[in-house]
Amino acid sequence: MSTTTDRAETATTGAPRPPVVRVSVPQRSFNSELRAIKIVWRRELIRYRSDRLRMITTLVQPLLFLFVLGSGLQRLSSGGTHGVNLKTFIYPGILCIVVLFTAMFSAASIVWDREFGFLREMMVAPVRRSSIVIGKCIGGASVAAIQGVVMIILAPVVHVPYNVVMIIEVFLLQLLLAFTITAFGVMIAVRIKQMQSFMGVMQMIVTPMFFISGALFPAAGLPGWLTVLNRLDPLTYAVDPMRRIVFSHLSISLLAKRALDPGITWFGWHVPTLVEVAIVAAMGLAMLGVAIWEFSATE
């Protein structure tokens, strides 16, 4: 402490001073908002890079589901999977939930920032609140997508061969899902003042969302109540196309494909993949809108 103070003293009283560097803050413009979005986004990446523990912790659960549940239930389920390894079947769902967990964690940083005061620094800056929210969402989406890539790399381990088209499609869908989930998380986080409450709320929302989505089972021939819940779960519309992408690049029997990738139906109507993707995108934008509106309303 004292050494730094001394240094400061000598620095200020020594030698002739250089002229003061005066800067000025320009009027708000499209460019200044872009700059704000970019720096908020970059901050998320810097923090992710310095937080090695988070990289690992958000992967633990998905990996447990994939390898422990996948291996453990293999024998029980072998009759229903038509020779397909259970891990291979679960894999697309895991590609989604790794994004789900990471994106929710990223959104939590808003609560964190509020608790530790940093949010205030952003709130008083001469930029739109929407720029901060958009930067957060893109940042969260980027981090989640990076975690998703780790999962993509594991494909051969679960008998899914690498394929460039598949990898690109999976990555893009993960990116979209990551954005939507982050927007969803931010929408909730803006209202919550304490990290503990957010973690609680997150558990309450994330776990059911993941279980009901069909990440671990085919979404056909379910009991009525579960079918209804499944069709209402937003994650369903990401898991289903994800499974289609992965399965379309597998060489398995048509029977197995039909049983394991039945697709989503609304009252008997087969929902096309593009519509599913559009649902995820539309929800993402809608929740981003709500998040921005909420964030702008806070004093």
* Residues found near other proteins in the complex (CB under 8 A): 1-2, 4-5, 7-9, 11-12, 17-18, 20-28, 31-32, 35-36, 38-39, 43, 46-47, 50-51, 113, 116-118, 120-127, 299
Looking at residue 253, the DSSP 8-state letter turns out to be -
Q: How far apart are CA 233 and CA 161, in angstroms?
A: 30
Q: State the nearest-atom distance from the C-beta of 216 to other proteins, in Å.
A: 35
Q: How far apart are CA 4 and CA 298, in angstroms?
A: 39
Q: State the nearest-atom distance from the C-beta of 195 to other proteins, in Å.
A: 14
Q: State the nearest-atom distance from the C-beta of 193 to other proteins, in Å.
A: 14
Q: Do the beta carbons of residue 135 and residue 38 sit within 8 Å?
A: yes
Q: How far apart are CA 191 and CA 178, in angstroms?
A: 20
DSSP string, 116-145: TSHHHHHHTSSS-HHHHHHHHHHHHHHHHH
User: CA 100, 93, 148 angle in degrees (round to 5)?
Assistant: 50
Q: State the nearest-atom distance from the C-beta of 126 to other proteins, in Å.
A: 4
Q: Quick one: 59 or 125, whose CB is closer to other proteins?
A: 125
Strand partners, 266: 269
Q: Quick one: 73 or 125, whose CB is closer to other proteins?
A: 125
Q: Quick one: 9 or 272, whose CB is closer to other proteins?
A: 9
Helix (H, G, I), strand (E, B) or coil at 252: coil
Q: State the nearest-atom distance from the C-beta of 275 to other proteins, in Å.
A: 39
Q: State the nearest-atom distance from the C-beta of 41 to other proteins, in Å.
A: 11
Q: Quick one: 35 or 82, whose CB is closer to other proteins?
A: 35
Element at 87 (helix H, strand E): helix 86-115
Q: Quick one: 120 or 258, whose CB is closer to other proteins?
A: 120
Backbone angles phi, psi at 269, to 5 degrees: -85, 130
Q: Quick one: 27 or 251, whose CB is closer to other proteins?
A: 27
Q: State the nearest-atom distance from the C-beta of 13 to other proteins, in Å.
A: 9
Q: Quick one: 41 or 217, whose CB is closer to other proteins?
A: 41
Q: Do the beta carbons of residue 235 and residue 96 sit within 8 Å?
A: yes
Q: Do the beta carbons of residue 66 and residue 239 sit within 8 Å?
A: no
The single residue listed with the structure tokens 């969260």 is 140
